[in-house]
Amino acid sequence: MAGSYDLLVIGTGPGGYVCAIRAAQLGLKVAVIEKRATHGGTCLNIGCIPSKALLHASERYEEARHHLAGMGIEVAPKLNLAGMLAFKDQGVKGNVDGVAFLLKKNKIDVFHGLGTLVAPGRIKVARDGAGPEQLEARHIVIATGSDVARLPGIEIDEESVVSSTGALALPRVPKRLLIIGAGVIGLELGSVWRRLGSEVLTVEYLDRILPGTDAEVARGLQRLLMKQGMSFKLSSKVTQIAKNGAQQKVTIEPAAGGAPIGVEADVVLVAVGRVPYTDGLGLEAVGVQLDNKKRIIVDAHYQTNVPGLYAIGDVIAGPMLAHKAEEEGIAVAETLAGQAGHVNYDAIPNVIYTFPEVATVGKSEEELKAANVAYKIGKYPFTANARAKVNKTTEGFVKILADAASDRILGVHIMAAAASEMIAEATAIMEFGGSAEDLARTCHPHPTLTEAVKEAALAVDKRAIHA
Partner 1 sequence: MAIEIKVPALGESVTEATVGQWFKQPGDAVAADEPLVELETDKVTIEVPAPSAGVLTDIVVPQGGTVAVGAVLGAIDGAGAQAGAAPKAAAAPAAPASPQAQKPEAQPAAAPPAAKPAERAAPAAEPTLAGDGAMPATPAARKIMAEQGLTPAEVPGSGRRGQILKEDATAALARRDAGPAAATAAGSYLPANVPVPGQALRAPTGPNDAAREERLRMTRLRQTIARRLKEAQHTAAMLTTFNDVDMSAIMKLRSDYKELFEKRYHVKLGFMAFFVKACVQALKEVPAVNAEIDGEDVIYKNYYHIGVAVGTERGLVVPVLREADRLSFAEIEQAIGDFGRRAREGKLGIEEMQGGTFTISNGGVYGSLLSTPILNAPQSGILGMHRIEDRAVVRNGQIVARPIMNLALSYDHRLVDGREAVTFLVRVKEFLEDPQRLVLEL
Contact set with partner 1 (CB under 8 A)? 26-27, 337-340, 342, 344, 403, 405-408, 431-435, 438
Task: State the angle between helix axes of 184-195 and 215-227 in degrees (0 to 180), rounded to the nearest 10.
Answer: 20
Between CA 192 and CA 186 the distance in angstroms is: 10
By C-beta, is 27 or 131 nearer to partner 1? 27
- Smallest distance from partner 1 to CB 337, Å: 7
What is residue 261's DSSP assignment?
E
Between CA 460 and CA 378 the distance in angstroms is: 4
Query: How many C-beta neighbours within 10 Å does residue 245 have?
Result: 6
- Smallest distance from partner 1 to CB 335, Å: 10
What is residue 27's DSSP assignment?
T
Reduce the DSSP state of residue 391 to 3 states and report it.
helix
Please answer whether residues 396 and 420 qualify as being in contact, where contact means their C-beta atoms are separated by less than 8 angstroms.
no
- Smallest distance from partner 1 to CB 379, Å: 22
- Smallest distance from partner 1 to CB 434, Å: 7
By C-beta, is 155 or 431 nearer to partner 1? 431
Between CA 40 and CA 110 the distance in angstroms is: 13
Between CA 127 and CA 142 the distance in angstroms is: 18
Between CA 179 and CA 127 the distance in angstroms is: 37
Between CA 84 and CA 90 the distance in angstroms is: 10
- Smallest distance from partner 1 to CB 313, Å: 21
By C-beta, is 101 or 432 nearer to partner 1? 432
Task: State the angle between helix axes of 451-460 and 419-431 in degrees (0 to 180), rounded to the nearest 10.
Answer: 50
Reduce the DSSP state of residue 275 to 3 states and report it.
strand
By C-beta, is 345 or 432 nearer to partner 1? 432
Please answer whether residues 231 and 377 qualify as being in contact, where contact means their C-beta atoms are separated by less than 8 angstroms.
no
- Smallest distance from partner 1 to CB 27, Å: 5
Between CA 275 and CA 270 the distance in angstroms is: 13
By C-beta, is 4 or 80 nearer to partner 1? 4
Ramachandran quadrant class, 270 (left: phi over 0; alpha: psi -120 to 50; beta: rest): beta
H or E element in which residue 248 lies: strand 247-254
By C-beta, is 27 or 152 nearer to partner 1? 27
- Smallest distance from partner 1 to CB 301, Å: 10
Catalytic pick from 301, 342, 446, 466? Answer: 446
Give Rg (Cα) of the chain. Answer: 23
Between CA 410 and CA 314 the distance in angstroms is: 25
446 part of the active site: yes
By C-beta, is 204 or 327 nearer to partner 1? 327
Active site members: 446
